[in-house]
Amino acid sequence: MLVGVIGKPNVGKSTFFAAATMKEVQIADYPFTTIEPNVGVGYLTTDCVCRELGLTDNPRNSICMDGVRMIPVKLVDVAGLVEGAASGRGRGNQFLDELRQADALIQVVDASGSTDSEGRRAPAGSNDPVADVVMVEREFDMWIFGLLKRDWEKNARLSEQAGGKTAESVASRLSGLSVSAVDVEESALKLGLKLDKPTSWTDEQILQFATHLRSSTKPSLIAANKSDLPTSAAGIERLKATGRRVIPCASEAELLLRRAAERGLVKYRPGDGEFKVVSEQSLSQAQASALRTVDERVMKPFGGTGVQRAINEAYFSLLNAVVVFPVEDENKMTDKNGNVLPDAFVMKGGSTALDLARTVHSQLAEGFLYAIDARTKKRVAADYVLRNRDVLKIVSTR
Ligand SMILES: Nc1nc2c(ncn2[C@@H]2O[C@H](COP(=O)(O)OP(=O)(O)OP(=O)(O)O)[C@@H](O)[C@H]2O)c(=O)[nH]1
Ligand SMILES: [Mg+2]
What pLDDT is stored for residue 97 in this prediction?
73
Q: Pick the closest to residue 102 from 223, 221, 218 (CA basis).
A: 218
More confident residue, 174 or 394: 394
| pLDDT confidence band for 92 (50 / 70 / 90) | low
What percentage of residues in the chain have a pLDDT greater than 70? 99
- What distance in Å separates the CA atoms of residue 137 and residue 155, rounded to the nearest whole number? 26
Rg for the chain, CA atoms, rounded: 23
5, 6, 10: residue to mutate for ligand 1 pocket, most atoms within 8 A of CB: 10
- Ligand nearest to the backbone CA of 31: 1
Task: Dump pLDDT digits (tens) for 271-304.
Answer: 999 999 999 999 999 999 999 999 999 999 999 9
Spell out the residues 6+ positions from residue 376 whose beta carbon is closer than 8 angstroms to its own. none
212 lines ligand 1 (CB under 6 A): no
Q: Pick the closest to residue 76 from 54, 95, 51 (CA basis).
A: 95
User: Worst-scoring range by mean pLDDT, 85-89, 369-373, 381-385?
Assistant: 85-89
Predicted TM-score of the model (pTM): 0.94
Which residue has the least CA distance to atom 7 on ligand 1? 12
| pLDDT confidence band for 309 (50 / 70 / 90) | very high
Secondary structure (H, E, C), the chain: CEEEEECCCCCCHHHHHHHHHCCCCCCCCCCCCCCCCEEEEEEEEEECCCCCCCCCCCCCCCEEECCEEEEEEEEEECCCCCCCHHHCCCCHHHHHHHCCCCCEEEEEEECCCCECCCCCECCCCCCCHHHHHHHHHHHHHHHHHHHHHCCHHHHHHHHHHHCCCHHHHHHHHCCCCCCCHHHHHHHHHHHCCCCCCHHHCCHHHHHHHHHHHHHHHCCEEEEEECCCCCCHHHHHHHHHHCCCCEEECCHHHHHHHHHHHHCCCEECCCCCCCCEECCHHHCCHHHHHHHHHHHHHHHHHHCCCCHHHHHHHHHHHHCCCEEEEEECECCCCECCCCCECCCCEEECCCCEHHHHHHHHCHHHHHCEEEEEECCCCCEECCCCECCCCEEEEEEECC
Task: Dump pLDDT digits (tens) for 24-65.
Answer: 889 988 888 888 889 999 999 999 999 999 999 999 999 999
What pLDDT is stored for residue 371 in this prediction?
98
What pLDDT is stored for residue 210 in this prediction?
96
91 lines ligand 1 (CB under 6 A): no
Contact yes or no for 195/165 (Cβ under 8 A): no
Residues 164-170 have a mean pLDDT of 86
248 lines ligand 1 (CB under 6 A): no
Residues 131-160 have a mean pLDDT of 92
- What distance in Å separates the CA atoms of residue 156 and residue 169, rounded to the nearest whole number? 9
Beta bridge partners of 380: 371
Residues 364-385 have a mean pLDDT of 97
Residues 172-195 have a mean pLDDT of 90
- Cα of 230 from ligand 2 centre, angstroms: 23
Spell out the residues 6+ positions from residue 47 whose beta carbon is closer than 8 angstroms to its own. 67, 68, 69, 389
Compute, in degrees rounded to 10, the torsion defined by CA atoms 11, 16, 22, 25: -20
- Cα of 28 from ligand 1 centre, angstroms: 6
What pLDDT is stored for residue 325 in this prediction?
98
